[in-house]
Amino acid sequence: MDIDKIIDENKGLKIPLIPVLLKIQEIEGFLSESTIRHVSRRLSIPLSQVFGVATFYSAFNLKPSGVNKICLCEGTACHVKGSTRIREKLERILGVKPGETTKDGIFTFTTINCMGACAMGPIMKIGTEYFGKMTPGKVDSIIKEYISP
Amino acid sequence: MPFKSTDENITGGKDFPDLYYEEDNLVSLTIDRQKVRVEKGMTILEAARWMGIKIPTLCYHEGLTPWGGCRLCVVEVIKRGRSKLEASCTYPVAEGIQVKTNSEKVQKTRRMIVELLISSCPNSRTLQDLASGMGITEIRFKMEDNDCILCGLCVRMCKEQMMSGGIGFINRGAKREVSTPFHKSSEICRGCGACMYICPVVTLQCRGRREPGDLCNACINVCPTDFGF
């Protein structure tokens, strides 16, 4: 089983929990309840602690996410440059609020507090691709590309 | 016995057998203008309590690892001429530092902390007593009615003393709370009740005459023995 392999590889680390959870999430896309229970048992860390770590960091998600992860920056610089309007536009097109996944499972829409690329603001990220200097007008065409590849 | 006064006149220099203090293991510092030498690795809180100085605490317990969550034990640490507020329960003693446990700045900070805590959990007797003890007569914040100050005592008690780990902190920021994993009843909880026993908020309810969700102050001018605790 993949999870067991990951755990065995990282068992020697001083604090193996976070690397293990990150790698599992890379493969499975999210952390299911059974996965978390399994990790807790294999690493002999209390379940409450594993669950605490998984809920603490925003890098972990406990719900299955869509194929494409849309991440919109709502930091100070992006906010000033109008990221609110882009968020409204995205909400309207996708029909979901930040933190939710569309019904067809293609997009997960999240917001972030700063991406660290304020000069490119307002900035949006889909998967690993960055879209800087966003305008509400650009949103349509970008989303369309991802719906019909 | 980690304590030795530097004043040779008090101890006579020979009061404690040599066995008890090895010179290499001692650190000298000043707490409230008193020079002391204490063992390395102690925290300021432990050193001050050893000397008989009272520092209020909420999230500290002798049997549990220091947490530094409530910040009620703040003291002023003066190091190289710079004064800084530090949580004494997690700050290890260091050579040559000067500590003020009850300066004006410290008192002001503590009062603010108690005010903030009471505004979230006004029903706790521990907190109401602290407020009365510090002479707080007004809360400047919006009163809420929670039953947790996130001191983490129950979480540490469960994990460290009861060897269970059934409860833990989940989420973070404003959503942070103490709960069981997945909000389901825990399989490893034995129902020992240690978490309830140690909790400073839910076990001791303030029974003074007051409006619900308000500052009590019933004990502020009363001798504790008269009040019938």
Residue range(s) of every CATH 3.30.70.20 domain in chain B: 153-198
Q: What are phi and psi of A107, to 5 degrees?
A: -120, 145
CATH number (domain holding residue A117): 3.40.30.10
Beta-carbon-side half-sphere exposure of residue B195 (alpha carbons within 13 Å): 22
Interface contact flag, B165 A33, Cβ < 8 Å: no
Beta strands in B53-124 (DSSP E): 74-79, 82-87, 98-100
Contact A48 B171 (CB under 8 A): no
Q: Does A51 touch chain B (CB under 8 A)?
A: yes
Q: Is residue A40 part of a domain?
A: yes
The boundaries of the domain holding residue A15 are 2-56
CATH code reported for the domain at B153-198: 3.30.70.20
Is there a domain that residue A132 lies in?
yes
What pLDDT, on the 0 to 100 scale, is given for residue B21? 58
Instruction: Determine contact, residues B66/B42, Cβ cutoff 8 Å.
Output: no
In the predicted structure, residue B229 carries a pLDDT above the cut 50: no
A63 located within any domain: no
pLDDT in tens, B162-183: 988 889 999 988 899 999 999 9
CA B77 to chain centre: 17
CB contact (8 A) between residue A52 and residue B186: no
Of the residues A33, A56, A79, which one is the last residue of a structural domain? A56
**How do residues A22-47 score in pLDDT, each as one tens digit?**
999 888 888 999 999 999 999 988 89
The fold of the B4-100 domain, in CATH, is: Ubiquitin-like (UB roll) (3.10.20)
The residue in chain A having the minimum alpha-carbon distance to the alpha carbon of residue B185 is A48
- Please answer yes or no on whether A52 and B182 come within 8 Å at the CB atom: no
Cβ neighbours, 10 Å, residue B118: 25
Write the residue in B159, B181, B188 that is nearest to A51 by C-beta.
B181
Q: Find the CB nearest B168 among A33, A36, A49.
A: A49
Q: Which residues pair with A143 in a beta bridge?
A: none
CA distance B99 to chain A (A): 35
- Per the CB < 8 A criterion, the answer to whether B154 and B198 are in contact is yes
Count of domains in chain A? 2
Residues forming a β-bridge with B30: B35, B98
Q: What is the pLDDT of residues B96-153, one digit of tens each?
A: 999 999 999 999 999 999 999 999 988 888 888 888 888 888 889 988 888 899 999 9
| Tens-place pLDDT, residues B23-60 | 678 899 999 999 999 988 899 999 999 999 989 999 99
Chain B residue nearest residue A47, CA to CA: B181
- Determine whether the interchain pair B165/A49 forms a contact, defined as Cβ–Cβ distance below 8 Å: yes
- B contacts of A33 (beta carbons < 8 Å): 182
Confidence of residue B204 (pLDDT cuts 50, 70, 90): confident
Name the average pLDDT for chain A. Answer: 89
Strand pairing partners for B86?
B75
pLDDT value, residue B227: 43
Residue B113 is predicted with a pLDDT of 94
Say yes or no to pLDDT of B5 above 60: no
